[in-house]
Structure 1
Amino acid sequence: MSSLMNVSKNGTHKNSGLSHNGWSNWIDDLFNVDTFPGVVSSNFNTSVSLPKVNIRETNDEYFIEMAVPGMKKSDFNIDIDNEVLSISAEHNVEEENTEGNFTRREFGYNSFKRTFTLPDSIDDQKIKAKYEDGILSIKLPKLEEAKPKPVRTIKIS
């Protein structure tokens, strides 16, 4: 028994060959981004994208950096609930241009939500965030008891 659908190397689905194979392939090709890149990729957002995140750890704290250009501080909402850090944002863009007798108005809407489970070692009362040059930075200090202790030598008596 043959499968009804094959997946090509680029991830697009093709009908395996029933009596309407030519028609199905034509429909698949019509909506294939590679076939009409100017139409599909410039006018439609075909995927949901989340901001890229860098997370690093030092002896004293964790740092989260998120690339979110074009937003304002007021667009963000950062919450902690049951050891889960949630970062969300909503951003509305409206633009109106008038040229002669032609008026064009464009608008857009961006939103996202990222969540991170925090380790028990975080001092959640001292978390700080700042937004600068398109980067949201969050500083997550560790509790004193979670920080590594320096090596000490014990003398033998």
Structure 2
Amino acid sequence: MEMDKLKKWLELTQKFQGDNFWEQIFDEKSVEKVIKSPSISPFTKIQSSFPKCDLYETDDVLVIEAEIPGMRKEDLHITVNQQLLTMTGEFKTLQEGRKYFIKERANQTFKKEIILPFPIKTTQIRTEIRNGLLFIFMPINKEEIETIPITFDQLTPE
């Protein structure tokens, strides 16, 4: 049984060592496929991959779920300016007076900006932190979504 696992592992490592694999990773056409993915809106602006977030709509409310394990609310700041949500903060993991043998979780500051797909009611935004996830609930402002009328020139037959 262990020999089968070893063979699979060796096949996998050979795949990653080949030039073809890395050429596909950095191939412009492959990148375009990811960018043109229907699940990613071209209007979504994400400058930082940290913290990891999901943005979705449910019952006329935009919801952001952000991974912030161990972060204190005092070290996190959220602002909304028009349709741009900005999260800034600092993970503080280094503790004075400790003798670390392994230190993989570094102190880290971040700034993440997300362009929201709809205008929101900024006075009704609600936040919660549960199990290391930050939830931001933003009611969609339907009154600010404009429908633009289309008129056609009526040509009279001559």
The amino acid across from 1:124 in the alignment is T
CA–CA distance in 2 between the matches of 1:82 and 1:143?
Answer: 11
Q: Which residue of 19, 23, 41 maps to 1:8?
A: 19
CA–CA distance in 2 between the matches of 1:70 and 1:10?
Answer: 36
CA–CA distance in 2 between the matches of 1:49 and 1:61?
Answer: 23
Counterpart of 1:50 in structure 2 is: 50
Report percent identity of matched pairs.
Answer: 27
Q: Which SS does the other structure have where 1:74 is aligned?
A: helix
CA–CA distance in 2 between the matches of 1:125 and 1:74?
Answer: 21
**2:91 matched to 1:91?**
yes
Q: Which SS does the other structure have where 2:74 is aligned?
A: helix
Q: Which SS does the other structure have where 1:112 is aligned?
A: strand
Structure with larger RCO (C-alpha < 8 A, sep 6+): 2
Give how far 1:118 is off: 2.3
Structure showing the higher helix proportion among its residues? 2
Cα distance change of structure 1 residues 143 and 78 upon mapping to structure 2, 3 Å threshold: same
Q: Which residue of 125, 129, 132 maps to 2:130?
A: 132
Q: TM (normalized to structure 1)?
A: 0.52
The amino acid across from 1:52 in the alignment is K
Counterpart of 1:60 in structure 2 is: 60
Q: How does 1:11-22 map to 2 (within 5 A)?
A: 11=22
The amino acid across from 1:71 in the alignment is M
Q: TM (normalized to structure 2)?
A: 0.52
Contact 2:89 2:111 in 1 (8 A): yes
Aligned residues: 102
RMSD: 3.1
Q: How does 1:14-33 map to 2 (within 5 A)?
A: none
Give how far 1:9 is off: 4.3
Contact 2:76 2:88 in 1 (8 A): yes
Q: Which SS does the other structure have where 2:119 is aligned?
A: coil
The amino acid across from 1:115 in the alignment is E
Counterpart of 1:72 in structure 2 is: 72
Give how far 1:88 is off: 1.4
Contact 2:77 2:88 in 1 (8 A): yes
Structure 2 gaps, min length 5 = 1-17, 24-47, 146-158
Cα distance change of structure 1 residues 94 and 144 upon mapping to structure 2, 3 Å threshold: same
Structure 1 gaps, min length 5 = 1-6, 13-47, 148-157
Give how far 1:91 is off: 2.0
Structure showing the higher strand proportion among its residues? 1
CA–CA distance in 2 between the matches of 1:120 and 1:54?
Answer: 15
Task: Point out the structure with max Rg over C-alpha.
Answer: 1
- Cα-to-partner distance string for 1:43-101 (whole Å, 9 max, x where unaligned): xxxxx852221222123211110111111111111011232110111122233336xxx
